[in-house]
Structure 1
Amino acid sequence: MANISDTEERGQFGSSLGFIMAAAGSAVGLGNIWRFPYLTGENGGGAFVFVYILCVLLIGLPLLFNEIALGRRSGKNPIGAIRDTGGNKLWQSAGVLCVLVCFFVFSYYSVIAGWTVGYIFTEIINIPVDFEEFVQTPLYVIPLTFVFILATILIVLGGVSGGIEKAAKFLMPILFIIIIFIAGRSVTLEGAQAGIEYYLYPDFSKINATVVLQALGQAFFSMSVGWGLMITFGSYLQKDANIIQSGGWIAGMDTAVALLGGLMVFPALFA
Structure 2
Amino acid sequence: MANSNHRAGSTTERFSQVGFIIAAIGSSVGLGNLWKFPYITGENGGAAFFLLFIVCLILVGLPVLLAELAIGRSGRASAASSFVRLGGGPVWRGAGLLQVLTPFLILSFYIIVVGWTLHYSILAFSGQLFANDDFGSTFTAFSSSYWPLIWQAVSMVLVGWVIAKGVSAGIEKFNKILIPAMAVLLVLLMIRSLTLPGASEGVSFFLQPDFSELSPESALIALGHAFFSLSLGMGILMTYGAYVDKRQSLGTATVAIGAGDLIYALIAGLIIFPTTFSFGIAPDEGASLVFIALPAAFSAMPLGWLFGGLFFVLLAIAAITSAVSILEVPVAFAKEQWGWSRTRSVWTVAVICFLFGVPLGLSNGLVPGLMIGGRNLFDWIDFITSNILLPLIGVLIAIFAGYRWKNVAEASGLRSSWFRLWLFSLRYIAPILMLFVLLYTSGVLRL
The corresponding residue for 1:82 is: 83
CA distance in 2, matches of 1:195, 1:122: 27
The corresponding residue for 2:92 is: 91
The corresponding residue for 2:61 is: 60
Q: Relative to structure 1, is the Cα distance of residues 6 and 36 closer, same or farther in structure 2, using a 3 angstrom cutoff?
A: closer
CA contact (8 A) 2:49 2:218 kept: yes
Q: Which is greater in Rg? A: 2
Q: Determine whether 1:144 maps to 2:139.
A: no
The corresponding residue for 2:212 is: 205
User: 1:93 offset after TM fit, Å?
Assistant: 1.5
Structure 1 window deviating more from structure 2 (197-206 vs 235-244): it is 197-206
| AA aligned opposite 1:196 | V
> C-alpha offsets along residues 90-125 of structure 1, whole Å, 9 cap, x if unaligned?
222222222111111111221111111122123333
Q: Determine whether 1:9 maps to 2:11.
A: yes
CA distance in 2, matches of 1:65, 1:80: 18
Cα RMSD of the aligned pairs, angstroms, is 1.7
Structure 1 window deviating more from structure 2 (54-63 vs 138-147): it is 138-147
User: 1:7 offset after TM fit, Å?
Assistant: 5.5
> C-alpha offsets along residues 124-158 of structure 1, whole Å, 9 cap, x if unaligned?
33345754145314332111111110111111110
Q: Relative to structure 1, is the Cα distance of residues 213 and 55 closer, same or farther in structure 2, using a 3 angstrom cutoff?
A: same
The corresponding residue for 2:73 is: 72
CA distance in 1, matches of 2:257, 2:218: 24
CA contact (8 A) 1:134 1:140 kept: no
Runs of at least 5 residues in structure 2 that lack an aligned partner in the other structure: 1-6, 279-447
> C-alpha offsets along residues 56-86 of structure 1, whole Å, 9 cap, x if unaligned?
1111111111110110011112221111111
User: 1:237 offset after TM fit, Å?
Assistant: 0.5
CA distance in 1, matches of 2:144, 2:80: 39
Greater share of helix residues, 1 or 2? Answer: 1
The corresponding residue for 1:165 is: 172
Q: Relative to structure 1, is the Cα distance of residues 250 and 177 closer, same or farther in structure 2, using a 3 angstrom cutoff?
A: same
- For these two proteins, the number of residue pairs brought into alignment is 266
User: 1:16 offset after TM fit, Å?
Assistant: 1.3
Query: Aligned residues: percent identity?
Result: 37
| AA aligned opposite 2:46 | G
CA distance in 1, matches of 2:248, 2:10: 16
The corresponding residue for 1:246 is: 253
| AA aligned opposite 2:193 | S
Q: Relative to structure 1, is the Cα distance of residues 83 and 125 closer, same or farther in structure 2, using a 3 angstrom cutoff?
A: same
Q: What TM-score results when the alignment is normalised by the length of structure 2?
A: 0.57
CA contact (8 A) 2:28 2:231 kept: yes
| AA aligned opposite 2:179 | M
Q: Relative to structure 1, is the Cα distance of residues 251 and 6 closer, same or farther in structure 2, using a 3 angstrom cutoff?
A: closer
Q: Relative to structure 1, is the Cα distance of residues 56 and 139 closer, same or farther in structure 2, using a 3 angstrom cutoff?
A: same
Q: What TM-score results when the alignment is normalised by the length of structure 1?
A: 0.93
CA distance in 1, matches of 2:80, 2:241: 14
The corresponding residue for 2:330 is: none
CA distance in 1, matches of 2:141, 2:29: 25
| AA aligned opposite 1:99 | V
CA distance in 1, matches of 2:257, 2:274: 26
CA distance in 2, matches of 1:21, 1:106: 21
> C-alpha offsets along residues 241-271 of structure 1, whole Å, 9 cap, x if unaligned?
1111111111111111111111111111111
User: 1:183 offset after TM fit, Å?
Assistant: 1.5
CA distance in 1, matches of 2:251, 2:141: 44
| AA aligned opposite 2:246 | K
CA distance in 2, matches of 1:6, 1:264: 41
Runs of at least 5 residues in structure 1 that lack an aligned partner in the other structure: none
| AA aligned opposite 1:236 | Y
User: 1:87 offset after TM fit, Å?
Assistant: 1.3
CA distance in 1, matches of 2:140, 2:38: 24
